Amino acid sequence: MVSRRKQSLGSKRYNPLEIGYRAIISSLDALHKNDYIIQIIGSHNEGTMTTMEPTDKLMEWFEDAGWSDDGVDKRIGSYVTLRETRKNHNNAVYIDFKDTKYSKWLGERIKQYDQLLNSCKIELWYDNGILDREFKKFTVQRKFIKYQSSFDNMEFSFGGRMPGPWVNIPSKDRENITINGEATVELDRDASHLNAMYQVITGSPYPGNDDPYNISVDEVGVPRHIAKNFSSFMQGSKSTKGVAHSVINHYKRKATEVKTPKDSDIKKYEEYVEFKKNIKPTDIANAILDKHPKVANYYNNGKSYGDFIGCWESDIVFEVVMELTKRGIPCLTVYDSFIVPLQYEELVNSIKDTMPYVDRRGLDKELFKK
């Protein structure tokens, strides 16, 4: 997939070769016109990107010219990115920034991780044993969101996700990823969003023996997926009404506004629509607050604070990544889960939920008081 959108590809930090969108579009069109690629142009209205695939003519040209993927160098502008809060036509608007002590430290750690992954053979296979693709010459980055703050050292404290080229692959297909020829396993952090709050605020994960999303209203059990979505949206909302609006839109979008919705998403949408006929959304939200009094005040503080909380989770995930990288263990992250060679399953299970949050920015302690 490739974008033909007529917008800047960013400053030299993000676009080290300073390539413009006009050059990309004209190159694609010339290659297509001369039968070197097959190009299918995407549609903004349908939310599809342009796709291209090489023809035999292009592959023969590469072979005759002695060009191969092994001879291609990877240029890296930055391992840390910063974008505006608002997107442009659903595309991130990246902005330049001055490096801080933290961003320099972080860039070096991501570089070590990136180099470890790129030294590995990471492949995705079809169920029939045929190779789908190999991931190589990619760049891992942590992506932050810019907000104004009166506190010091907050430049890279919102968002902070670290998506690799495997994150949009369906979870079922990710089961067929191999690393250096070895089968892998994907391990999720338990109740990651909520436990990140506990780890930062109290220093430890949720202390109960039950599922932290196990809540009820008037002795009626709330389905786990509903409780989880309410908890997640409450982190970045300002009111219970706003949360209820976000939750129903989330279910509706996944079940009715995509071309091929999953059966599970349709079922969850229908279950929530039916459930809220008898249980008010405000009661679900209050049940979560009642179950988690130690972190209750950190909910419903607005979008920026929600992205701040999101960064807590991203930081903890990265602490796990750094520990594994230090041991030379390759690990692919998918938001709050870890894909690792099967031989390391026990090790990763032992640290993924207990790895402590570490304030590596030197943030004001008042930020963590509510």
Question: How many Cα atoms within 13 Å fall on the side-chain side of residue 267?
Answer: 5
Q: What is the pLDDT of residue 294?
A: 97
Pair 339, 332: CB distance under 8 Å: yes
Of 84, 91, 97, 89, which Cα lies nearest the Cα of 14? 97
* Residues with Cβ within 8 Å of residue 43, at least 6 apart in sequence: none
Alpha helix segments (H runs only) across 47-160: 56-65, 101-118
Whole-structure pTM value: 0.90
Q: Which residues of the chain have pLDDT under 70?
A: 46-47, 370
Q: What is the pLDDT of residue 70?
A: 80
Q: What is the pLDDT of residue 258?
A: 85
Q: What is the pLDDT of residue 85?
A: 93
Q: What is the pLDDT of residue 109?
A: 98
**Which residue type does 1 have?**
M
For residue 226, give the H/E element and its range: helix 224-234
Strands (E), the chain: 37-40, 51-54, 80-83, 122-125, 131-135, 142-145, 159-161, 177-179, 182-188, 216-217, 220-221, 332-334, 337-341
Q: What is the pLDDT of residue 243?
A: 96
The Cα–Cα gap between 256 and 289 comes to 30
Q: What is the pLDDT of residue 43?
A: 80
Considering the chain, what percentage of its residues have pLDDT values greater than 70? 99
